[in-house]
Amino acid sequence: MKRINLPKRLFFDGAMGTELQRRGLPAGSPPEILNLQNPSLVEEVHRDYIKAGAMVIETNTFGGNRIRLRRAGLEDKIEEINRKGVEIAKKASEGKVFIAGSIGPLGELLAPFGDITEEEAEEVFSEQIKILVEAGVDFILIETMIYLQEALIALKSAKKYNTLVGVTMSFEWIRNHGRTPFGDDIETSIKRLQEEGADFVGANCGKGIEDMIKIAEIIRKITDLPVLIQPNAGIPKWENGKLVYPATPNDFKIFVEKMLNLGIDFIGGCCGTTPTHIGVFKEFCPKL
Ligand SMILES: [Zn+2]
């Protein structure tokens, strides 16, 4: 695969999973199944993000690894689901934006916390990454990692395919400290990912915009690599049978301004962000 050079600043898209739910995907149903069952809905979300100003869209393949698909009874569809995910993104992109191949966590715990060995984990990540790379993504984005060891195995898997690869971890801000739920601190996580050859690093998801500002500040100080920050739109609440995320597009706009002032290279949104949130990027384009 030909390695690409990324521009100095990139605006990514917003959430895929929660956006598909907002458009009718039942909660609990794996979003990846829509690559086969309703590809035009996935394409519509991509197109809405591109229209809003995203320069990178992420394939609808976050949960498309063998372990997660097996749980959903879709194991035999792994090739098709991932390949189609890239095809849909390419069709929506019309060659105008970058396509990131989304890779999420395994969905089961690595030993010693669970039963998955490092070898099995590498096999599972490699299988999905290979399909995405062969289908033509521009780079791989390993995201929402909450255990450094798992992130490093995913990174090692991606490096085998000579593709550009970014890794974002999900940190929680507790008692003036950012850590993953597995206890990996920000400094160690970012340093290790950099040492093992990540092309860019960062943080995504988490508890919302305010915590993410503190996390982004720390990451920016400890690495010269490009940094990607994708917060979710706060902690959701149930309202009339629907999950509602509190951060408004205006909150997101203030956040983007802070990120640009901090020197964050790549900015996008995670759970609960919509094309309306991503639309605020347009206001910053003249400054780029
Ligand atoms: Zn998220």
- pLDDT at residue 287, as a whole number: 53
DSSP code, position 17: H
Provide DSSP, 140-170. EEEEEE--HHHHHHHHHHHHTTT--EEEEE-
What is the arithmetic mean of pLDDT over 11-25?
96
The average confidence (pLDDT) of the chain is: 95
Q: How many domains does the chain have?
A: 1
Distance 244 CA to ligand 1 centre (A): 14
- Name the percent of the chain lying above pLDDT 90: 90
Domain assignment present for 4: no
Answer whether 234's CB lies under 8 Å from 255's CB: no
In a domain? residue 21:
yes
Phi, psi (degrees; rounded to nearest 5) at 25: -65, 125
- Give 128-138 pLDDT, tens digit per residue: 999 999 999 99
Report the C-alpha gap between 242 and 222 in whole angstroms: 39
**What mean pLDDT do residues 145-173 have?**
97
For residue 270, report the distance from its CA to the centre of ligand 1, in Å.
Answer: 4
The verdict on residue 279 lying in a domain is: yes
Q: Any residues with CB less than 8 A from the CB of 215 and at least 6 apart, and which?
A: 171, 173, 178, 186, 203, 206, 229
Q: Is residue 3 part of a domain?
A: no
**Span 251-284, pLDDT tens digits:** 999 999 999 999 999 999 999 999 999 999 999 8
State in Å: Cα 20 to ligand 1 middle: 13
* Ligand 1 center to 18 CA (angstroms): 9
CATH at residue 117 = 3.20.20.330
Give the residue numbers spanning the domain of 113: 10-287
Ligand 1 center to residue 145 CA distance, Å? 10
Question: Is a pLDDT exceeding 80 seen at residue 67?
Answer: yes
pLDDT tier for residue 241 given thresholds of 50, 70 and 90: confident
pLDDT of residue 28: 86
In the predicted structure, residue 51 carries a pLDDT above the cut 70: yes
Structure tokens at 158: 């991606």
